[in-house]
């Protein structure tokens, strides 16, 4: 029986084994790129218009563009090579920015009347007497239930101004512009039947408007 020695050379051993032995190499890990290329499938505010190819961070594809909803699609290297030069663009932060922001309501500028104009208008359309009806506390007593206040008079003046049309609707009058100059009035309220003077003053106006309030007994229904 003959004896032979086996070579320790790895290449020789593989040749003797007829290729049965294969070299096993460690699996190489492919390093993922931090960015990817995508094509917008519709106009995307602050990014770009439909068809734009962008290079973005990987996480944006899932979070911002919500890939399953078709806002954007992946672009491979092969696809990019077949596209015209300059296809890859930068993000446009100003694209459709005006549409994204909430539209501010434009306030309509109302030209206010001057104090002199206000007094002139009030003097032209307020009648000599403003009449209010109130029930009395007792049949033969002048005291009334529910007083007539400066607010009541101001409201009546504004209503008259509004139905007068034209510049009358621009008149601004409140209880602070009205006062009772006569005697027999407690503060800013009328608490009895009778006729009382009142004045309308507007800050900045030289003149004022004087009219009368008639508080009459409310008839029982």
**84 and 43 within one domain:** yes
**212 and 131 within one domain:** yes
**212 and 120 within one domain:** yes
pLDDT beyond 80 at 149: yes
Q: Which residue has the higher pLDDT, 136 or 111?
A: 136
Q: How many CB atoms lie within 10 A of CB 183?
A: 6
Which residue range is the domain that position 178 belongs to? 115-217
**136 and 68 within one domain:** no
**181 and 145 within one domain:** yes
CATH of the domain at 212: 3.10.430.100
Q: Name the least confident of 27-31, 93-97, 140-144, 178-182.
A: 27-31
State residue 9's pLDDT score.
58
**165 and 87 within one domain:** no
pLDDT beyond 50 at 4: no
Is 28 inside any structural domain? no
- Yes or no: say if 51 and 40 are a contact pair by the CB < 8 Å rule: yes
Is 179 inside any structural domain? yes
**155 and 205 within one domain:** yes
Q: How confident is the model at residue 211 (pLDDT cuts 50, 70, 90)?
A: very high
CATH of the domain at 76: 3.40.5
Is 162 inside any structural domain? yes
**Cα-Cα-Cα-Cα dihedral sign, residues 180, 181, 182, 187:** positive
**131 and 87 within one domain:** no
State residue 177's pLDDT score.
92
**How many domains, the chain?**
2
**126 and 89 within one domain:** no
Is 67 inside any structural domain? yes
In this prediction, residues 81-101 reach a mean pLDDT of: 71
Q: What is the mean pLDDT of the chain?
A: 76
- Residue 86 CA: distances (Å) to CA of 58, 80, 95: 22, 10, 19
Virtual CA dihedral for 135, 139, 141, 143, nearest 10 degrees?
Answer: -20
In this prediction, residues 110-129 reach a mean pLDDT of: 85
Is 13 inside any structural domain? no
**143 and 172 within one domain:** yes
- Yes or no: say if 54 and 36 are a contact pair by the CB < 8 Å rule: no
State residue 201's pLDDT score.
92
Is 138 inside any structural domain? yes
Q: Which residue has the higher pLDDT, 184 or 25?
A: 184
Is 47 inside any structural domain? yes
Picking from 44, 69, 97, the residue at the C-terminal end of a domain is 97
- Yes or no: say if 53 and 37 are a contact pair by the CB < 8 Å rule: yes
- In 28-112, which residue ranges form alpha helices assigned H by DSSP? 58-63, 77-82, 97-100
- In the chain, which residue ranges form alpha helices assigned H by DSSP? 10-16, 58-63, 77-82, 97-100, 115-125, 150-164
**137 and 57 within one domain:** no
- Yes or no: say if 72 and 38 are a contact pair by the CB < 8 Å rule: yes
Q: How confident is the model at residue 58 (pLDDT cuts 50, 70, 90)?
A: confident
In this prediction, residues 164-180 reach a mean pLDDT of: 84
pLDDT beyond 50 at 1: no
In this prediction, residues 74-93 reach a mean pLDDT of: 78
Is 24 inside any structural domain? no
Whether the pTM exceeds 0.85: the reply is: no
Q: Which residue has the higher pLDDT, 97 or 153?
A: 153
- Yes or no: say if 159 and 122 are a contact pair by the CB < 8 Å rule: no
Give the Cα separation of 130 and 32 in Å (integer). 86
């Amino acid at each position: 029986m003959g004896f032979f020695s086996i070579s320790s050379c790895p290449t020789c051993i593989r040749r003797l084994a007829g290729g049965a032995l294969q070299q096993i190499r460690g699996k190489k890990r492919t390093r993922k790129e931090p960015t990817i290329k995508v094509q917008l499938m519709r106009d995307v505010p602050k990014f770009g218009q439909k068809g734009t190819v962008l290079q973005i961070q990987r996480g944006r594809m899932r979070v911002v563009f919500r890939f399953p909803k078709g806002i954007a699609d992946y672009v491979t290297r092969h696809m990019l090579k077949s596209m015209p030069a300059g296809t890859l663009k930068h993000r446009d932060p100003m694209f459709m920015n005006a549409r994204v922001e909430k539209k501010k309501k434009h306030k309509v500028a109302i030209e206010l009347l001057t104090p002199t104009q206000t007094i002139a208008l009030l003097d032209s359309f307020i009648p000599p007497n403003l009449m209010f009806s109130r029930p009395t506390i007792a049949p033969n007593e002048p005291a009334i239930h529910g007083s007539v206040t400066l607010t009541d008079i101001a409201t009546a003046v504004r209503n008259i101004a509004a139905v007068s049309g034209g510049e009358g609707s621009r008149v601004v009058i409140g209880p602070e512009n009205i006062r009772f100059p006569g005697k027999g009035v407690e503060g800013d309220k009328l608490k009895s039947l009778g006729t009382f003077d009142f004045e309308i003053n507007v800050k900045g106006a030289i003149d004022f408007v004087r009219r009368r309030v008639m508080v009459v007994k409310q008839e029982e229904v």
